[in-house]
C-alpha cells in the first residue's frame, strides 16, 4: 500500500475495515428486505453514514476521511461480498462525493455540514439549464439514480443554454446540487439484479438553482489529495469491478458451503464429485487471476497519483481493461456457482441466485461493456483510443 501522511488508514485511529466487517452480519440479515424493498433499509443506511462510511472520499479539510484508494477498494470488496446492491451504492455514493473536492469550498461545507449526507445522481436525459439572474432554471430527467432513497442531495448534470466550455466548442456542463425533496422521483426500478440499489429516475420542472449551488464540470480539483488526481471514470469502474468480484466471491463461497451438504438425487455428495472439484478449481483460478490483475492495475494508478500527481495513459488503460475484465470474469464465476448448485439455486431465497443476477446487471452497465476491450486494443496497437472513459 502506498502511504502518504494523513491519507492512509494506518495513520488514523479509526479502522474502517473493522467497521465494514462489523456491518456484514447486519447486511446479510437484511438481504431479503433489501431485494424486496428495492432499497437499503433507511436504518441500515443511516447507521453506515453515522459510522463515516459515506465520507471516505471527502477531503479532510471539510471533515471527511480522505482515505487511500486501495484501502477504499478493500472496503468495497467486504461490503459487496455480503450484498451486491449495498456494495454498488457504497461505491457509487462515495465516488460521487469526490465532487466535494471540485466544487466551491463554501458549497461543500454547506452540503457536508450534515455528517450523514449522501449524494445520488444519474445520467442526464435531455436536460437544460437556462441562465437567469443569480442562477438557472433547470428542466430535465435523470435516470439510474442509485441510492436515491437514502440520499439527501442529488446531483443533476446539465448543459447551460448559450454557453460553451472555455477553449472548446462543447456546451458548458454544470453540476446542479439539489436538496432531494426538490426533485420528483419516478418509480422505474422494476428489475432483476441489484434491486436494492433503488436506481430510480428523477425529474425537475422549472426549478430555480442558485448560482452558488452549481459549478462547472471538469474543472481542476480545489484540493491537493492524490485521490482527486484519479479520473472519476476510473474510480467508478474499478469500484464497480471490485463490487462484481465481491459478488462473485460470495457466490463461490456459497456453493463451496453447499457442496459439503448437498447430495443430488442418485449421486454422491456434491463436493466428492470430480466435476464439482474441477469447476471449483477453475472458478478459483478465474476469480483470483481477475482480482490480481485489477489489484495490480489499481496500485499502479495510486502510486502515480501519490508520487507524480498524474496518471500515465498506459496505467489508465490498464485499469480500465482490468476493471472490464474483472466484471466479465465475475459473471463466469457466478454462473459456475449457479450451475453447480442445481435446483437449489432457482429459488428467490437462494443467495447464489441473487448474486448471479446482481453480477449480470453489473456487466450490463457501462463499466462492463465489451467496447472497453476495443479501447485497450486500440491503445496497444498504437492507435488513438476512441473512448474517453479512461
DSSP string, 52-98: TTT-TTS-GGGT-----HHHHHHHHHHHHHH-HHHHHHHHHHHHHGG
**Residue 3 included in any domain:** no
Cβ(217)–Cβ(155) below 8 Å: no
Name which of 82, 74, 54 is nearest 238 in CA terms. 74
Q: What is the residue-wise DSSP string for 316-365?
A: HHHHHHHHHHHHHHHHHHHHHHHHHHGGGGGSTT-HHHHHHHHHHHHHHS
Predicted local distance difference test score (pLDDT) of residue 268? 87
Q: Which residue has the higher pLDDT, 54 or 126?
A: 54
Mean pLDDT (whole number) for 330-339: 98
Count how many Cα atoms sit within 13 Å of the Cα of residue 336 in the half-sphere of its side chain: 25
Do 170 and 253 reside in the same domain of the chain?
Answer: no
**Is residue 354 assigned to a domain?**
yes
In the chain, % of residues over pLDDT 70: 96
Shared domain for 51 and 136, answered yes or no, is no
Work out the pLDDT band at 12, boundaries 50, 70, 90.
low
The reported pLDDT for the residue numbered 266 is 72
Q: Residue 72 pLDDT > 80, yes or no?
A: yes
Whether 254 and 343 share a structural domain: yes
Q: Which of 216, 248, 273 is the last residue of a domain?
A: 216
Residue 158: CATH number of its domain: 2.40.110.10
Write down the pLDDT at residue 389. 78
Assess if residue 123 is contained within a domain. Answer: yes
239 and 354 together in one domain = yes
User: Where among 88, 111, 134 does a domain terminate?
Assistant: 111
Residue 386: pLDDT above 70?
Answer: yes
- How many domains in the chain? 3
Assess whether 93 and 210 both reside in one domain.
no
Q: Do 370 and 239 sit in the same domain of this protein?
A: yes
pLDDT at 7 over 70: no
Average confidence (pLDDT) over 18-26: 98
Instruction: Provide the pLDDT confidence category of residue 93 given band limits of 50, 70 and 90.
Output: very high
Q: Which three cell numbers stand for residue 341?
A: 448448485
The pLDDT score that the predictor gives to residue 178 is 98
Do the beta carbons of residue 116 and residue 281 sit within 8 Å? no
Residues in CB range of 351: below 8 A, 6 or more apart: 31, 250, 251, 254
Cβ-contact 294, 322 below 8 angstroms: yes
Residue 11, pLDDT above cutoff 60? no
- 282 and 358 in a common domain: yes
Note whether residue 66 is domain-resident. Answer: yes
Both 139 and 83 in a single domain?
A: no
Residue 246 located in a structural domain: yes
Mean pLDDT of 134-143: 98
Cβ contacts of 302 within 8 Å, gap of 6 or more? 2, 68, 69, 70, 226, 230
Q: What percent of the chain has pLDDT over 90?
A: 88
Q: Is the pLDDT of residue 10 over 50?
A: no
Question: Do 323 and 190 have their domain in common?
Answer: no
Of the residues 111, 133, 150, which one is the last residue of a structural domain? 111
Which pLDDT band, with edges at 50, 70 and 90, does 262 fall under?
confident
pTM of the model: 0.93
**CA–CA distance, 144 with 123 (Å, rounded to integer):** 7
Q: What is the dihedral of CA 55, 222, 146, 288, to 10 degrees?
A: -70
CATH number for 88 = 1.10.540.10
In this structure, are 360 and 239 located in the same domain? yes
Query: Nearest Cα to 273, choosing from 334, 335, 330, 341?
Result: 341
More confident residue, 268 or 360: 360
Q: Report the run of H or E that residue 372 belongs to, with start and end.
A: helix 371-380
Q: State which H helix or E strand residue 375 sits in.
A: helix 371-380
Both 327 and 210 in one domain: the answer is no
CATH at residue 364: 1.20.140.10
Clarify whether residues 293 and 354 are in a common domain: yes
84 in a structural domain: yes
Q: What is the pLDDT confidence band of residue 68, given thresholds at 50, 70 and 90?
A: very high
User: Residue 267: its pLDDT value, please?
Assistant: 83
Residue 180 lies in a domain: yes
Specify the range with the lowest mean pLDDT, choosing from 101-110, 284-293, 379-388: 379-388
**What is the maximum span of the chain, computed from C-alpha positions, in angstroms?**
77
Nearest to 69 by CA among 11, 120, 8: 8
Decide if 316 is inside a domain.
yes
Distance, CA of 253 to CA of 194 (rounded, Å): 19
Which residues constitute the domain of residue 126? Answer: 119-216
Binned at pLDDT 50, 70 and 90, residue 3 comes out as very low
Is pLDDT of 1 > 70? no
Between CA 57 and CA 96 the distance in angstroms is 9
Lowest mean pLDDT among 7-11, 80-84, 207-211, 314-318: 7-11
pLDDT at 6: 33
Q: What is the pLDDT of residue 8?
A: 37
Amino acid at each position: 500500500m502506498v502511504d502518504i501522511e494523513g491519507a492512509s488508514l494506518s495513520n488514523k485511529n479509526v479502522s474502517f475495515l473493522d467497521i465494514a466487517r462489523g456491518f456484514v452480519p447486519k447486511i446479510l440479515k437484511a438481504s431479503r428486505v433489501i431485494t424486496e424493498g428495492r432499497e437499503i433499509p433507511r436504518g441500515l443506511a443511516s447507521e453506515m453514514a453515522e459510522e463515516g462510511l459515506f465520507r471516505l472520499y471527502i477531503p479532510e479539510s471539510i471533515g471527511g476521511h480522505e482515505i487511500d484508494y486501495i484501502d477504499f477498494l478493500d472496503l468495497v470488496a467486504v461490503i459487496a461480498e455480503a450484498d451486491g446492491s449495498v456494495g454498488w451504492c457504497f461505491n457509487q455514493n462515495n465516488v460521487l462525493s469526490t465532487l466535494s473536492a471540485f466544487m466551491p469550498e463554501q458549497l461543500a461545507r454547506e452540503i457536508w455540514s450534515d455528517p450523514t449526507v449522501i449524494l445520488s445522481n444519474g445520467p442526464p436525459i435531455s436536460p437544460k439549464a437556462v441562465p437567469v439572474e443569480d442562477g438557472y432554471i433547470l428542466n430535465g430527467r435523470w435516470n439510474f439514480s442509485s441510492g436515491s432513497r437514502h440520499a439527501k442531495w442529488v446531483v443533476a448534470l446539465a448543459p447551460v443554454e448559450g454557453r460553451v466550455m472555455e477553449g472548446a466548442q462543447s456546451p458548458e456542463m454544470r453540476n446542479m446540487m439539489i436538496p432531494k425533496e426538490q426533485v420528483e422521483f419516478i418509480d422505474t426500478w422494476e428489475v432483476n439484479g441489484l434491486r436494492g440499489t433503488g436506481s430510480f429516475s428523477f425529474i425537475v420542472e422549472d426549478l430555480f438553482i442558485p448560482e452558488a449551488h452549481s459549478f462547472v464540470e471538469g474543472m481542476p480539483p480545489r484540493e491537493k489529495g492524490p485521490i482527486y488526481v484519479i479520473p472519476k471514470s476510473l474510480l467508478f469502474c474499478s469500484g464497480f469491478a471490485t463490487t462484481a468480484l465481491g459478488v462473485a466471491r460470495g457466490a463461490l463461497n456459497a456453493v463451496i458451503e453447499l457442496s459439503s451438504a448437498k447430495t443430488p438425487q442418485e449421486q454422491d455428495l456434491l463436493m466428492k464429485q470430480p466435476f464439482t472439484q474441477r469447476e471449483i478449481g477453475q472458478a478459483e483460478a478465474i476469480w483470483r487471476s481477475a482480482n490480481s490483475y485489477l489489484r495490480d492495475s489499481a496500485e499502479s494508478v495510486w502510486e502515480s497519483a501519490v508520487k507524480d500527481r498524474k496518471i500515465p495513459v498506459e496505467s489508465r488503460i490498464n485499469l480500465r481493461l482490468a476493471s472490464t475484465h474483472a466484471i466479465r470474469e465475475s459473471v463466469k464465476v457466478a454462473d459456475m456457482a449457479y450451475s453447480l448448485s442445481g435446483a437449489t439455486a432457482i429459488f428467490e431465497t437462494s443467495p447464489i441466485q441473487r448474486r448471479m443476477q446482481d453480477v449480470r446487471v453489473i456487466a450490463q452497465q457501462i463499466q462492463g461493456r465489451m467496447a472497453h476491450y476495443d479501447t485497450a486494443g486500440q491503445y496497444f496497437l498504437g492507435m488513438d483510443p476512441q473512448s474517453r472513459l479512461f
